[in-house]
Structure 1
Amino acid sequence: MVVGMFLSCGNTDQQIEEVTHNYDGPLEVSEGVTMYFSDKGMAQIKLETPLMHRYQMEENEMKLECPTGMIVTFYDSVGEVESILTAKYGEMYSNKEYIMVKKDVVFRNSKEEELNTDLLHVDFKKDCVYTHEKVVVSSPKGTISGVGLHSNSKFTDYKVHNINNGLYNLEGNELGTN
């Protein structure tokens, strides 16, 4: 009778694999999320998203995925809004201090300059924003389009690469004349 009990309690290899298979979906799903990231008690970044998935990656890295879009607001040292980044999809990596956004990316700064592209990377450790995709930067002074862009992480100082079109109004002092 004891032998019968041990034989009837066994699981097949397939059943064990089904139970112990690693789950690769989100650990947490949240709706209506607003997160603040601060330095020395002062808000530096605000992240807003209607839907967020949290994933645990290797080496204690956490990925926050915003599959329905995100708004990232950057603040200056006195708490004033310096720039706003929006996109229809985004991912944020905690340890890497990195954001990747795509699909209708718009980045506006306090100088009324606006970047439009389809893919943008923000690397906070290196204080840079970059893309190798087509970009259009518009401002009250005009519009420049090109392929590729590098900027500081708040989009207040930037360089457009491979400029292929543009109309920009320069004033006399910007041309180096008096």
Structure 2
Amino acid sequence: MKARHIALVALLGPLLAQAHTDVATGGGFVRGFLHPLTGGDHLLAMVAVGMWGAILGAPLVWLLPVAFPMLMVIGAVTALAGVALPAIEPGVALSVLVLGGAIAAWWRASLPLAVAVVAFFGFLHGYAHGKELPSAALPAAYASGFVLASGLLHGTGIAIGAVRAWRHGDRVLRTLGVLVACAGAWLLVSRIAGA
């Protein structure tokens, strides 16, 4: 299969997940799995992590999708422990803006800086997941679900990054980055205005 077909399927796959927004699934693995797929902020940020990793190349193409869920679990545990942190939802929206901007600007961050940025945003997303944990949920099953879905979304972003092989693939990725950043800006403004 050609890289463009893989990238097209990877790009359209997460859009299909938006159809599952109000599924009554209880509070375990399935609910955790669906959570990142049904929240536009989580979906965009996690796909953007994979895309940015694909742009940065090895070893970051694999380190970023590992750092994000690792810190996401720590963030979820922090939330479940009852530690109160301010401005998590604006921070999650900011992650979409920054990651989209990194793609649009073709930001070639150093390895430590790229990992730190992604790990920080992973922590925020994990904290948000932990706070949104349904009261009836089994925390370990829910966490397993959202970590697996996150990994699949990161993989989707990496697959989208395959468009670099196209004749104007860099332009396509930059344009997608602009769209993600614009969505992040809108989310950020709406969350600040709603606070």
> TM class, shorter-chain normalised?
under 0.3
TM-score, with structure 1 as normaliser: 0.22
Name the structure where helix makes up a greater proportion of residues. 2
Q: Normalising by structure 2, what TM-score?
A: 0.20
> For the pair shown, which has the larger CA radius of gyration, 1 or 2?
1
Q: Whose strand proportion is higher, 1 or 2?
A: 1
